[in-house]
Chain A
Amino acid sequence: MLKPLFNSDKKEKILLYLYTHGESYAREIARAFKCNLNSVQNQLMNLEKGGVLYSKLKGKVRLFGFNPRYPFKKELEALFEKVLSFIPDEEIEKFYKPRLRPRHTGKPL
């Protein structure tokens, strides 16, 4: 939906994924969209360089999220909220509705 603006369908998906999940890492995003890990990593790094995202190490995993100090964060979030309202329910369920509550160790899915 924002491809004409971002020049990349993948970048839009990554940003929407982070917006709905709060934080995530390259492998999880690549797995979710079945796309190339390197290209997701490159997009994440570029967005971090541009100040849109932050990253932090948790154990061996580099987590990314929206930089709360990015001056256009609120406006960007409003844009993503609107974009989400145009996305079919099926796709929302599949990609953009994370389970946030904890899950017991060993509990079957």
Chain B
Amino acid sequence: MKIKGISIKDLGIYISDYLRKNGIETVLSGGACVTIYTNNKYISYDLDFVLPVYVNRKEIRGVLEKIEFYEDGRYFKHKDTQYFIDFLSPPLSVGEEPVKVISSIRKGNMVLKLLSPTDCVKDRLAAYYHWNDKPSLDQAILVCKDNKVDLKEIERWSINEDMSINFKMLKKMLE
């Protein structure tokens, strides 16, 4: 596949599908999900793939090197794209809870598994709460505006995470 000029969404689909065909399951999380769900209103350059089960780093390196990605510190990069790949250790979670529902995007016969819009909002809210990172709250709002999200579920999760104040803030900004 031609990497030059590829969008982060298409790169995510390609990498996820390629890894799966090589026996490595992943779920995309983080800012790239925001980019995908907001149709590029927020731009992320890193693809954070969560590994639902432990995979040896050597195995990942070997597979990615076949398509000309190289390891640079904790990331994998490619000479033809500014986007880079990171792998996050299991478990797949948002805050303290495991992720139960995983969304997918198809392109031809390729599949990208990623956080649902609702879990993507939780993920951003968790970053806002724990790091006081205002851009993460803005990203959560963008995802809410452009997608069907389950606000009741986000409220339940927020209370469970002692983040009800953040949920109120989100709700107020969505009004």
Q: Does A99 make an interface contact (CB < 8 A)?
A: no
Q: Name B's interface SS.
A: mixed
Q: Does A69 make an interface contact (CB < 8 A)?
A: yes
User: Is B98 touching A71 in the complex (CB atoms < 8 A)?
Assistant: yes
Nearest A residue to B98, CB-CB:
A71
Nearest B residue to A45, CB-CB:
B74
Q: Kindly provide the distance from the CB of B44 to the nearest chain A CB, expressed in whole angstroms.
A: 17
User: Is B130 touching A71 in the complex (CB atoms < 8 A)?
Assistant: no
The CA of A104 and the CA of B126, in the complex, are separated in Å by: 36
Nearest A residue to B88, CB-CB:
A51
Tally chain B residues at the interface, Cβ within 8 Å: 12
Q: Kindly provide the distance from the CB of A58 to the nearest chain B CB, expressed in whole angstroms.
A: 14
Q: CB-CB < 8 A to B126: which residues of A? A: 69
Q: CB-CB < 8 A to B127: which residues of A? A: 69
State the B residues within 8 Å of A (CB).
74, 88-89, 91, 93, 95-98, 126-127, 130
Given contacts A51-B89, A71-B96, A73-B96, 10 further A-B contacts (CB under 8 A): A49-B89, A50-B89, A51-B88, A68-B130, A69-B127, A69-B130, A71-B91, A71-B95, A71-B97, A74-B96
